[in-house]
Amino acid sequence: MHRRLSEPKLVVASHNAGKIREIAALLAHLSTQVVSAGDMGLPEPEETGLTFAANAHLKASMAASASGLPALADDSGLAVAALDGAPGIYSARWAGLDKDFALAMRKVEQALVEQKATTPDQRTAKFVCALCLAWPDGHSETFEGDVEGTLVWPSRGEKGFGYDPVFLPHGCSETFGEMKPEEKHAMSHRARAFALLSAACLVAD
């Protein structure tokens, strides 16, 4: 049996403004008050896990323990087939200390060029998201979702965040960087993971 979230307040265990906006939008149908780890002054833990799920659990459990409230954490990234799944769990680190994702996207493109991956079928990738909902007593629930597509260059669009401007979902003519937020939320890796989480643990108003 999954545990249902019944508490009136939930911590989003992230300091990434883009992720916080998306998660808050996905939680908008709940009466639960959503606060971010940054707003509560909670530290950003070092992500030492070897999988998306492990890192999501690490962040959620630490935020729940520190705040005394249930906490929801996301760990997500871009996995490129021609790069053996890189940057994967290190997606944010490719952006450097300044979180410069324009730099990160250039690094991915350079790596693809070095692999001579120039055609769409050689540039397949997927966004992966693991969501973990943790409680202060140590209980946690983890759910994963992904969305597949190809990488384009140069980047297209200024919406979204991270690698969104180079990711073209299969069957779409717009990158995540070009899509309206509601269009992205209907199909993104985060939305798919959240749908599983919502069905198992969240009760709508």
For the annotated catalytic residues, the residue numbers are: 75
3-state DSSP of 73-91 = EEEEEEEEHHHCCCEHHHC
Give residues with Cβ within 8 angstroms of 75, minimum separation 6.
Answer: 47, 49, 52, 53, 54, 55, 56, 59, 89, 129, 130, 132
Helix (H) or strand (E) holding 185: helix 181-185
For residue 9, CA distances in Å to 35, 45, 64, 163 come to 8, 21, 11, 30
Contact indicator for 64, 134 with CB cutoff of 8 Å: yes
Kindly report the number of other CB atoms within 10 A of residue 29's CB atom: 11
Question: At 119, which amino acid appears?
Answer: T
Task: Look at strands 33-36 and 167-169 and give their pairing.
Answer: unpaired
